[in-house]
Amino acid sequence: MSSSSTIAILTVAGGRGVRAGDGLPKQYRSLLGKSVLARTLEAMHRAAPQARLIVAIHADDAELYRGGVAELSDSARARLLEPAIGGATRQQSVRNGLEALAALSPAPEIVLIQDAARPFADPALVATAIEAARAHGAAVPGLPLADTVKQIDAEGVVIATPDRASLRFVQTPQSFAFPLILEAHRKVASGGGELTDDGMVAEAAGHKVHVFPGDAANFKLTTPEDFLRAQNALLGDLSDIRTGQGYDVHAFGEGDKVWLGGVPVPHSHGLAGHSDADVLAHAITDALLGALADGDIGKHFPPSDQQWRGAPSSIFLAFAAKRVRERGGIISHVDATIVCEAPKIGPHRDAIRESLAKIMEVDIGRVAVKATTSERLGFTGRQEGMAALALATVRLPSF
C-alpha cells in the first residue's frame, strides 16, 4: 500500500440497523450473494482506487467484519486498513475512525465519510465529493425535495411551511479536508446531544458546509423495502441470463461411503475416481463452467495432474462459483439429479443442499437436489456406479 495516498474513505459500519427487520446488522446482510458492506467498500474502491479504506465497526462484529472483507477483490483488500472500533453513537464511531487515520504517516489530506448501508455510490459522485472537499473544505451531497414540507407541533398542528427550494435531503459520502473534520469532531466531542451526520459536526464547529448535487440512485438501505429495491436494481444490471448443463458418472469401487456434494454418505462401496469422485459436485461444476463458456472440469483440473489425486471436489466447485463472481455475476439457481439404486439419498438431501450452498456461497433456497433410480436398467440399475445431471442458471452483466 502506498503511504503517499492523500485520500481516505471512512465507512461507518457500527450500527445495528433495527429498522431493517430481524437478522444480522444490515451492513452484513447478503445482497444477491455479497454482503452490503462488501458492496459498499467495493463501490468506493472502484470510484477512488488510490484511496486508503478504513471501517469503523461495532466491538461485537469482528467475525462478521472478517467475513465481509473476505468477499472483497484483492485490489480493494490491499487498500484496507485495520478496522477502528466504534463507539456508542455514530458520532463517536466516526471520531474513532478519524483518530485511527490521524495516526498514519502521513495522515490523509481529504477524507470521505460513507454510510456502510449505501452500496450504490458511483464514481462520478465520489469524484465530485473529492473535488468539493478540495474546493470548500467541508461538503455534503444533497437532493432537492419533490414534496411540500410541513413543520408541526406536538399536537400535529402545522406551524410552518418551509420553502422546499432551499431544503435538501443529505446523503453520503460527505467529504472534508482531513484536519478540518478531525478538529471539528474533537471540538464537539464533549458537547451534549447527538449530531447525526458529519456536516452537522462541521457546522457545530463553526465551518461553512457546501452542498453539491447528490444522486437519487445512491439510496440508503434502511427498511426491508429498501433491500428489495436494491436487489431489483442489481438484477437489472445482470441481464445476461445463461444456463449450463453438467453430467458425470463414476463406477463403484472399494470403500464404505460415497461423497455427494461434499457430504460423506455411508454405503457398501465407494466411488472410484482421480479425486474423491464426488459425482454430484462434478456435474454442478461442469454446469457452472458451461454457463460461463469456460471449458469443463477437466480443463481446469486435469486428471493427469497428480496434485488433484484424492482432492475434495469442493475445491473444484468453489473454483467454478468464484469464476461466476469474478465475472460480476451471481448463481441464480442450481438443479441437480442423482441417479442410483443405492444408497438412499432422501435422508441426506438437506445436508447435501446445505453443503453445496456453503461451497458455492449462495442461499440454500437456490439449490435443488433430487434423486431417482433407473428402474434397474443400465449400469446404474445394475449398481455398477452412479450418475449425476445438473443445470445451473447464472446472471452476468450484459456489458
Residue 235 has pLDDT above 60, yes or no: yes
Cα dihedral 17/46/69/330 (nearest 10)? 80
Mean pLDDT of 142-154: 95
**Within a 10 A sphere around the Cβ of 223, how many other Cβ atoms?**
14
- State percent of the chain over pLDDT 70: 97
* C-alpha–C-alpha distance, residues 195 and 123, integer Å: 28
Residue 46 scores a pLDDT above 80: yes
pLDDT above 90 (res 21): no
What's the burial of 243, exposed, middle or buried (CB within 10 Å: 0-12/13-18/19+)?
middle
pLDDT at 36 over 80: yes
pLDDT one-digit tens code per residue, 180-232: 999 999 999 987 778 999 999 999 999 999 999 999 999 999 999 999 999 99
CA 296-302-307 angle, to 5 degrees, is 135
Check residue 1 and give its pLDDT: 36
What are 287's three cell numbers? 454446469
pLDDT surpassing 70 at residue 17 = no
H-assigned helices in 312-369: 314-326, 349-360
pLDDT confidence of residue 191: 78
Mention every residue, 6+ apart, whose C-beta is less than 8 A from residue 19. 222, 223
Statement: residue 85 has pLDDT above 60: yes
Tally the C-alpha atoms within 13 A of residue 72's C-alpha that lie toward its C-beta: 23
- Of 25-39, 187-201, 293-307, minimum mean pLDDT range: 187-201
Across the range 75-94, mean pLDDT stands at 95
